[in-house]
């Protein structure tokens, strides 16, 4: 009766991931050491972070190489190549600063030439290794970045267009590797103006860029990044821009774009290889970007792309200017490339209204080229939106000096508004039935959710049926500090069954309102097959489950719409264990975890959030053995449920409360 025992650690296949870093790319720096966001420490902190996580040992380390002129010349002019080749030589000492000052957002020094050649050559190197199948995927930690560098002009901190050079190299120089179609995903917060131009008429390269645009006021501040720019001639339809109208876009906005634009198009295009222009300046905390992608967000975005091109995917660093953000984001990405396991974690909040507007505009504009974009998105979907972004005045046209902190600060009033609106969104499907959403918008949700059964999986005091029934019928059992209100629907569970799961039971917190002093039970769904937790499954309705969620977390919370609806259920059941946080701001059981199915009915439990589990592991939150009254509930549950004898049950709790996490 055990589930999940097939997931032994041996069978977790490790993918081969190429990793390239070379300190020589740090030689490009401001001539007099003036501070600059695009500085050598960027790649150093990324490398240090990966080392601290013992990542390099798990990767195939690749050597940096200088690009050959003939390969750079595929996308840059002879003039430009000459300039970058010679700019660091002695003869240019007196002219270098003057040349740089005439360019847009460029500095140059004695190390610039070498770094630029290494960045471009390294992009070629990793891409070729992936194309040859020597590694499954690869990451190039390179600088200077590339996507702004035009055919005949350095700009935007970029000297050579590394990604464009690598893509051209495979297409033009290596036909035998059979890479005929390349998808470039540019998730740097800035529009990849130069990459767009270089493949403007080329249907072999699908260039996709999602960026802050703000109607042409955000860097590079032209109309080129607008969604109307779709390519030309044979390249028509092979250029896709998703231009944000405002700052502060985060996971939900990017996931929505992935789900409703990028993934369906990628499926149709069917690329042989994917190159990500992987800037991390849309990450939360970035001083230039003002967006809010979390490391979890990046890992989901990447994982979804790995389903295409046979997993052949290359990440080439572009921008990203907050050390901590870029290091954490890159680490999250490499871990996804390395590991063949589902991603845990959750993201909250809806996309902005502006995001739905942009998504619909893009879909409409490109629907003639990509049939999968043709359907109009249902209103029930696009109705789900976050309140408008708080307007933050821009100091300059590309708003470089803005928002650092402001973008993450949310006014107290807004917090209240959000409380009512944010909700898990990791996988909204176009095809999803409209009733799912309609149910949420009115008080019909109870009757809708009452038609859906789930197994509520209890591993703490609710193992004891009488205690669980307090949450259904209302009332109080011995040891409970106060009576429960019960559920609206007071029907008893339709079925009860027991199972053991390969997850870790532990006890944390020193006090709870329900039980007084002592720890309460939590499940760590990330732990391994050596663990064994007794769980009692109660077959109840999804409506009742919502009432349980409230009582477990925030007694008295008025639930005008469900905390966990059909959309949430759809999104959480994609893989197991998968979790979704509900929109409650407090409560220790607001993380719903999907544990698989029984009789084709999903099994859901609730535990603390992944970050709280981290807190228990790090010692930030206290582990604490359960008080005797609480432990007694569990023992009674196990004994009356005929799972264990009194002694065995006590030993079981004893073990769970003494083993460290």
Tell me the catalytic residues.
148
- Least distance (Å) from ligand Q9C to the CB of residue 230? 23
397, 557 in Cβ contact below 8 A? no
- Least distance (Å) from Zn ion to the CB of residue 105? 10
Interface with Zn ion (CB under 5 A), residue from 121, 231, 290, 319: 319
Interface with ligand Q9C (CB under 6 A), residue from 136, 251, 253, 318: 318
Residue 89 interaction partner, one of Zn ion, ligand Q9C, none, beta carbon < 5-8 Å per kind: none
- Least distance (Å) from ligand Q9C to the CB of residue 619? 38
Collapse the DSSP code of 296 into the 3-class scheme (helix H, G, I; strand E, B; otherwise coil) and give the result: helix
* Closer residue to Zn ion (CB): 40 or 279: 279
Residue 71 interaction partner, one of ligand Q9C, Zn ion, none, beta carbon < 5-8 Å per kind: none
CA-based angle 143:148:153, to the nearest 5? 100
Beta strand 591-598 with 578-581: parallel, antiparallel or unpaired?
Answer: antiparallel
Main-chain phi, psi angles of 187, to 5 degrees: -100, 10
Residue 396 lies near ligand Q9C (rule: CB under 6 A): yes
* Closer residue to ligand Q9C (CB): 325 or 512: 325
Beta strand 591-598 with 520-524: parallel, antiparallel or unpaired?
Answer: unpaired
* Closer residue to ligand Q9C (CB): 145 or 587: 145
* Closer residue to Zn ion (CB): 188 or 565: 188
Measured from each CB, the residue nearest to ligand Q9C is 319
**Torsion over CA of 636, 642, 646 and 650, rounded to 10 degrees?**
-70
Residue 40 lies near ligand Q9C (rule: CB under 6 A): no
Residue 335 interaction partner, one of ligand Q9C, Zn ion, none, beta carbon < 5-8 Å per kind: none
Interface with ligand Q9C (CB under 6 A), residue from 66, 253, 259, 281: 281
- Least distance (Å) from ligand Q9C to the CB of residue 149? 9
Point out which span in 336-344, 393-401, 459-467, 627-635 binds ligand Q9C (CB under 6 A): 393-401
- Least distance (Å) from ligand Q9C to the CB of residue 279? 5
- Least distance (Å) from Zn ion to the CB of residue 464? 56
* Closest alpha carbon to 243 in 288, 282, 203, 205: 282
Determine what percent of the chain falls in helix, strand and coil, rounding each to the nearest 5: 40, 15, 45
- Record the tokens describing residue 244, joined without a space: 């944000």
* Closest alpha carbon to 102 in 153, 66, 142, 55: 153
Main-chain phi, psi angles of 142, to 5 degrees: -125, 155
> Inter-axis angle of helices 112-132 and 78-86, to 10 degrees?
120
Residue 40 interaction partner, one of Zn ion, ligand Q9C, none, beta carbon < 5-8 Å per kind: none
How many other C-beta atoms can be found within 10 angstroms of the C-beta atom of residue 46?
Answer: 25
Interface with ligand Q9C (CB under 6 A), residue from 97, 105, 383, 629: 105
Interface with ligand Q9C (CB under 6 A), residue from 295, 319, 508, 525: 319
Q: Which of residues 163-192 bind Zn ion (CB under 5 A)?
A: 188, 190
- Least distance (Å) from ligand Q9C to the CB of residue 221? 9
- Least distance (Å) from ligand Q9C to the CB of residue 562? 41
Q: How big is the site for ligand Q9C, counted in residues (CB under 6 A)?
A: 16
Measured CA to CA, the distance from residue 485 to residue 125 in angstroms comes to 64
Measured CA to CA, the distance from residue 583 to residue 546 in angstroms comes to 12
- Within 8 A by CB and 6+ apart from 531, the residues are 502, 503, 504, 505
496 class by beta-carbon count within 10 Å (0-12 exposed, 13-18 middle, 19+ buried): middle
* Closer residue to ligand Q9C (CB): 38 or 423: 38
- Record the tokens describing residue 18, joined without a space: 């190429």
Point out which span in 392-400, 442-450, 489-497, 516-524 binds ligand Q9C (CB under 6 A): 392-400
* Closer residue to ligand Q9C (CB): 192 or 345: 192
Residue 38 lies near Zn ion (rule: CB under 5 A): no
- Record the tokens describing residue 46, joined without a space: 């990324």
Point out which span in 394-402, 482-490, 535-543, 628-636 binds ligand Q9C (CB under 6 A): 394-402
- Least distance (Å) from ligand Q9C to the CB of residue 400? 5
Residue 190 lies near ligand Q9C (rule: CB under 6 A): yes
Helices (H), 463-622: 465-473, 542-553, 566-572, 610-618
- Least distance (Å) from ligand Q9C to the CB of residue 72? 18
Measured CA to CA, the distance from residue 37 to residue 266 in angstroms comes to 33
Residue 148 interaction partner, one of Zn ion, ligand Q9C, none, beta carbon < 5-8 Å per kind: ligand Q9C
Q: Which of residues 275-304 bind Zn ion (CB under 5 A)?
A: 279, 281
Q: Which of residues 133-162 bind ligand Q9C (CB under 6 A)?
A: 145, 148, 156-158
Residue 279 lies near ligand Q9C (rule: CB under 6 A): yes
What would the 3-class secondary structure string for 588-619 be?
CCCEEEEEEEECCEEEEEEECCHHHHHHHHHC
* Closest alpha carbon to 216 in 207, 205, 208, 225: 225
- Record the tokens describing residue 57, joined without a space: 């040992």
Beta strand 511-512 with 516-517: parallel, antiparallel or unpaired?
Answer: antiparallel
* Closer residue to ligand Q9C (CB): 153 or 281: 281
183, 309 in Cβ contact below 8 A? yes
Residue 396 interaction partner, one of ligand Q9C, Zn ion, none, beta carbon < 5-8 Å per kind: ligand Q9C
Q: Which of residues 219-248 bind ligand Q9C (CB under 6 A)?
A: 219
Beta strand 273-278 with 313-317: parallel, antiparallel or unpaired?
Answer: parallel
Collapse the DSSP code of 298 into the 3-class scheme (helix H, G, I; strand E, B; otherwise coil) and give the result: helix
Collapse the DSSP code of 303 into the 3-class scheme (helix H, G, I; strand E, B; otherwise coil) and give the result: helix
Residue 156 interaction partner, one of ligand Q9C, Zn ion, none, beta carbon < 5-8 Å per kind: ligand Q9C
Q: Which residues pair with 244 in a beta bridge?
A: 212
Residues that bind ligand Q9C (CB under 6 A): 105, 145, 148, 156-158, 188, 190, 219, 279, 281, 318-319, 396, 398, 400
**Interface contacts to Zn ion, rule CB under 5 A:** 188, 190, 279, 281, 319
């Amino acid at each position: 009766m055990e589930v999940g025992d097939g997931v032994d650690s041996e069978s977790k296949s490790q993918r081969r991931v190429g990793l390239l870093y070379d300190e020589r790319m740090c030689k490009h720096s401001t001539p007099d050491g003036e501070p600059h966001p695009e500085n050598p420490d960027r790649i150093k902190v990324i490398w240090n972070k990966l080392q601290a996580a013992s990542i390099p040992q798990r990767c195939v380390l690749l050597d940096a190489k200088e690009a050959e002129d003939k390969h750079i010349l595929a996308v840059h002019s002879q003039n430009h190549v000459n300039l970058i080749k010679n700019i660091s030589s002695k003869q240019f000492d007196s002219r270098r600063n003057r040349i740089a000052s005439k360019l847009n957002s460029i500095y140059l020094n004695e190390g610039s030439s070498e770094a630029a050649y290494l960045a471009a050559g390294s992009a070629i190197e990793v891409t070729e290794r992936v194309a040859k199948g020597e590694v499954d995927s690869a990451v190039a930690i390179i600088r200077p970045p590339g996507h702004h560098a035009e055919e005949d002009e350095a700009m935007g901190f970029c000297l050579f267009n590394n990604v464009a050079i690598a893509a051209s190299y495979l297409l033009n120089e290596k036909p035998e590797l059979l890479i005929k179609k390349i998808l470039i995903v540019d998730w740097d917060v800035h529009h990849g103006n130069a990459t767009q131009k270089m493949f403007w008429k080329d249907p072999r390269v699908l260039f996709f860029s999602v960026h802050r645009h703000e109607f042409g006021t955000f860097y590079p501040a032209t109309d080129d990044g607008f969604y109307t720019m779709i390519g030309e001639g044979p390249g028509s339809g092979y250029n896709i821009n998703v231009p944000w109208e405002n700052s502060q876009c985060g996971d939900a906005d990017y996931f929505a774009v992935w789900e409703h634009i990028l993934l369906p198009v990628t499926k149709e295009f069917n690329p042989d290889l994917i190159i990500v222009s992987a800037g991390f300046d849309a990450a939360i905390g970035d001083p230039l970007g003002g967006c809010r992608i979390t490391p979890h967000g990046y890992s989901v975005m990447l994982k979804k792309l790995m389903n295409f091109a046979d997993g052949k995917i290359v990440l080439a660093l572009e921008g990203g200017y907050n050390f901590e953000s870029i290091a954490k984001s890159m680490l999250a990405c490499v871990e996804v490339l390395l590991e063949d396991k589902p991603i845990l974690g959750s993201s909250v909040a809806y996309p902005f209204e502006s995001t739905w507007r942009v998504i619909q505009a893009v879909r409409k504009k490109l629907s003639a080229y990509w049939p999968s974009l043709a359907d109009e998105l249902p209103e029930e979907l696009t109705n789900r939106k976050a309140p408008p972004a708080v307007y933050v005045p821009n100091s300059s046209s590309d708003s470089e000096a803005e928002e650092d902190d402001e973008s993450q600060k949310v006014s107290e009033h807004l917090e209240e508004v959000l409380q009512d609106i944010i909700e898990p969104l990791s996988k909204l499907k176009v095809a999803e039935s409209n009733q799912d959403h309609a149910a949420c918008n009115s008080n019909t949700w109870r009757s809708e959710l009452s038609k859906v059964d789930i197994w509520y999986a209890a591993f703490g005091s609710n193992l004891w049926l009488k205690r669980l029934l307090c949450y259904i019928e209302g009332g109080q059992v011995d040891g409970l500090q106060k009576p429960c209100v019960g559920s609206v629907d007071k029907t008893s569970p339709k079925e009860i069954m027991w199972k053991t799961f390969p997850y870790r039971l532990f006890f944390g917190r020193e006090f709870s309102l329900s039980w007084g002093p002592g720890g309460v039970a939590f499940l760590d769904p990330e732990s391994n097959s050596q663990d064994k937790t007794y769980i009692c499954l109660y077959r109840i309705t999804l409506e009742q489950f919502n009432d349980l969620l409230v009582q477990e977390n925030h007694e008295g919370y008025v639930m005008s719409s469900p905390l966990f609806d059909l959309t949430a259920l759809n999104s959480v059941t994609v893989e197991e264990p998968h979790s979704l946080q509900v929109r409650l701001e407090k409560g220790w059981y607001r993380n719903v975890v999907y544990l698989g199915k029984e009789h084709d009915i999903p099994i859901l439990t609730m535990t603390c959030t992944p970050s709280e589990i981290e807190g228990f592991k790090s010692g930030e939150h206290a582990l604490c053995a359960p008080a005797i009254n609480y432990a007694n509930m569990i023992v009674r549950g196990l004994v009356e449920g005929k799972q264990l004898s009194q002694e065995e049950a006590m030993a079981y709790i004893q073990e769970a409360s003494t083993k460290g996490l």
